[in-house]
Amino acid sequence: MTETVERFIRQLVAPEHLLQEEPMAKHTTFRVGGAADILIRIQSEDQLIKLVAYLGQLHQPYLVIGNGSNLLVSDRGYHGVVLQIGDGMNTVTVDGERMCVQAGALLSSVASQAAQHALSGLEFAAGIPGSMGGAIVMNAGAYEGEMSQIVESVTVLNEQGERMVLDRDTMEFGYRTSIIRNRPFIVVETVLRLHKGDEQEIRARMEDFNAKRRAKQPLEYASAGSTFKRPEGYYAGKLIMDAGLRGYRIGGAQVSEKHCGFIINVGNASAQDIYELIAEVQEKVKQRFHVELEPEVIRIGDFL
Ligand SMILES: Cc1cc2nc3c(=O)[nH]c(=O)nc-3n(C[C@H](O)[C@H](O)[C@H](O)COP(=O)(O)OP(=O)(O)OC[C@H]3O[C@@H](n4cnc5c(N)ncnc54)[C@H](O)[C@@H]3O)c2cc1C
């Protein structure tokens, strides 16, 4: 990174929100990953627009992250600028049955605010540990619900830092994907359309889903949730278990014994351990059942 770029960034970002050589292990739920050259905790949409326009103009690589709950960052880190959209951009406003949510708001908090206003439709997301931006990108879902069902529109920035409003039909939502997986857009705000319900019933549904998660998922370990997408006609976890891989380990990465669809960090995994375990699981499942498992987890950087 040139001195000019660094100087520009320093003019725009307060020192406490500008982290240099920052270990990505601190910002991902897998708790692995080497250092980012620079990590900026974004404080406002205006700041983000200026940064994106400038970095774009210079073809300076950058990576946008939310809560890091679906990321596997290489042990070699990320050479460029990480723009973290979190609690500096987490405003939520409610207008009738609509909620306008900034990208950095956590789903658990948005779901709880929806319940407070007796708004139903977001219960499925209460236990997903992502930000609204990450959930839109991934079309996050659980228990028959997914973001595409409740999104009215999404405001994004393009590469020039210009705002564009995309309605649901232009979002190209699919199973754990959206247009933003293929285009360099940054989610800044989302309008959700929910419906009136009963606060107690909404809270009960959220609690029920969260209890199911606690019973079935290895939440006591670092992970990125389900490692693989569900292959059509199968369940990834069952295929992995039937391939004899329950508890299988490479270094500190393990196929969870509680839920074989999760690869967990049992304490001291490297990103490389997790990467290799993903590849090994894919290979064994393919050999045994001729099914291709596609990772849901997004891999960033170079692996060996
Ligand atoms: C214990 C556990 C349980 C989970 N359960 C579920 C589940 O039930 N259902 C489910 O779908 N997922 C689940 N996940 C995975 C994860 O929480 C979701 O995919 C979540 O939506 C990711 O959000 P995030 O903010 O953490 O995104 P990140 O992991 O930070 O980023 C994910 C992707 O989105 C991009 N991105 C993030 N924010 C923005 C933005 N504002 N603009 C543009 N791009 C952006 C990143 O570049 C990256 O490509 C689980 C994860 C864990 C750890």
What is the CATH number for 184?
3.30.465.10
Residues 170 and 227 in one domain: no
Residues 93 and 171 in one domain: yes
Q: Cβ(197)–Cβ(190) under 8 Å?
A: no
Per the prediction, the chain carries an average pLDDT of 97
Distance from the alpha carbon of residue 292 to the mean position of ligand 1, in angstroms: 22
Residues 94 and 196 in one domain: yes
103 ligand 1 Cβ < 6 A: yes
Residues 23 and 79 in one domain: yes
Residues 64 and 128 in one domain: no
Quick one: which of 32, 73, 13 has its CA closest to 264? 32
Q: For ligand 1, what atom is nearest to the CA of residue 133?
A: 41
Please tell me the residue having the least CA distance from ligand 1 atom 37.
134
Q: Which long-range contacts (CB under 8 A, 24 or more apart) does 65-68 make?
A: 65/27, 65/134, 66/103, 66/104, 66/130, 66/131, 66/132, 66/133, 66/134, 66/135, 67/29, 67/106, 67/129, 67/130, 67/131, 67/134, 68/24, 68/27, 68/28, 68/29
- Which residues have CB under 8 Å from 190's CB, separation 6+? 100, 101, 103, 132, 136, 151, 153, 154, 155
Please tell me the residue having the least CA distance from ligand 1 atom 11.
140
The Cα 231–Cα 284 span in angstroms is: 15
Distance from the alpha carbon of residue 31 to the mean position of ligand 1, in angstroms: 14
Distance from the alpha carbon of residue 119 to the mean position of ligand 1, in angstroms: 23
Residue 264 lies in a domain: yes
| R_g (Cα) of the chain, nearest Å | 20
Residues 173 and 259 in one domain: no
| pLDDT at site 118 | 98
Residues 103 and 189 in one domain: yes
128 ligand 1 Cβ < 6 A: yes
166 ligand 1 Cβ < 6 A: no
Residues 26 and 100 in one domain: no
Quick one: which of 301, 147, 266, 285 has its CA closest to 228? 285
- 45-62 pLDDT, tens per residue? 999 999 999 999 998 999
Residue 142 lies in a domain: yes
Mean pLDDT throughout 83-108? 98
Residues 79 and 94 in one domain: no
The tally of CA atoms less than 13 A away on the side-chain side of residue 1 is 22
- Which residues have CB under 8 Å from 95's CB, separation 6+? none
Please tell me the residue having the least CA distance from ligand 1 atom 28.
68
Q: Would the CA dihedral through 207, 212, 216, 217 be positive or negative?
A: negative
Query: Which of 84, 107, 138 represents a domain boundary (last residue)?
Result: 84
Residues 68 and 112 in one domain: no
Q: For ligand 1, what atom is nearest to the CA of residue 217?
A: 1
Q: How far apart are the first and last CA of the chain?
A: 24
Give CA separation, 254 vs 76, 107, 293, 302, in Å.
Answer: 21, 27, 17, 21
Query: Which of 40, 61, 84 represents a domain boundary (last residue)?
Result: 84
What is the CATH number for 295?
3.90.78.10
Distance from the alpha carbon of residue 224 to the mean position of ligand 1, in angstroms: 8
Q: Please return the burial class of 4, using the count of CB atoms within 10 Å of its CB with bins 0-12, 13-18 and 19+.
A: exposed
| pLDDT at site 23 | 98
Q: Domain residues for 225? A: 218-300
- 134-183 pLDDT, tens per residue? 999 999 999 999 999 999 999 999 999 999 999 999 999 999 999 999 99
Q: What is the number of structural domains in the chain?
A: 3
| pLDDT at site 304 | 86
Distance from the alpha carbon of residue 272 to the mean position of ligand 1, in angstroms: 20
Global pTM reads 0.97
- 240-290 pLDDT, tens per residue? 999 999 999 999 999 999 999 999 999 999 999 999 999 999 999 999 999
State phi, psi for 115 to the nearest 5 degrees: -60, -45
Please tell me the residue having the least CA distance from ligand 1 atom 8.
142
295 ligand 1 Cβ < 6 A: no
Q: Cβ(132)–Cβ(139) under 8 Å?
A: no
- Which residues have CB under 8 Å from 245's CB, separation 6+? 255, 260, 281, 284, 285
What is the CATH number for 35?
3.30.43.10
| pLDDT at site 278 | 98
Residue 212 lies in a domain: no
